[in-house]
Structure 1
Amino acid sequence: MPSTIDIVTAVIRDNTGLMLVVRKRGTTRFMKPGGKREPGEDDLTALARELDEELGCRLVSATRLGDFEAPAANEPGFTVRAATYLAEVEGAIEARAEIDELAWIDPAAPGARPLAPLMLKVLAALLALEPDLA
């Protein structure tokens, strides 16, 4: 059984720069929306499907931010590896499927919400990309 979980995730920002995070049912940590690829899916096909299933929105465009790796938030002993994209979406965003809660955070000051370890790495990358956020 592999100890690495490969996923694709989206950084979705609103027009004020806040970033969307989600909390899956039965968990406590917030993370970026996204998920595992189905057999034969490329990153953007998987991302579009996951965003539709989890949030009910449509992926308009995506630019690769990078690949990130950290201990998995919800699977003890596993590492999660995420191909992460800066994504533009359209349509109303709402919690669907396994998503219990949505929140919009300031990437430079995320507040007290418990974040998945991978989120911390992505936030650091965003701040490096956009130093004016800090």
Structure 2
Amino acid sequence: MPFEAINPPQFPTPIAPYSAGAKAGGVLYVSGMLALGEGGAVLHPGDAAAQTRHVLDAIKITVEAAGGTMADIAMNHIFLKDLADYAAFNAVYAEYFPGDKPARYCIRCDLVKPDCLVEVASVAYLA
């Protein structure tokens, strides 16, 4: 099944060969989002809450560009550099998902750049 690449124009040039999202058969797969600016510069170093907000805003922009809303997200894959940031992440996350919560998992791992603290990839059902 072919897919439609979703690349909102307000995003900086990606640091690797990927699309922000891929829509296929009524499902949107959102790439792992990091708090990166132009040229791959890490935004908000040391501030997990600010990075979480940036990441979830990027996911929201991608989902809306594909014709959906944050309420269409069914699954979030969460990656944290340090589980000490879990509470800060959850406080911001709750603002973006105030009603029924999507399924999710969270793991601690190293991320693409040392100053990146938060990465989230999402799956939304848009049919």
Q: Fold match, TM over 0.5?
A: no
TM, length-normalised to structure 1: 0.25
TM, length-normalised to structure 2: 0.26
Greater fraction helix: 2
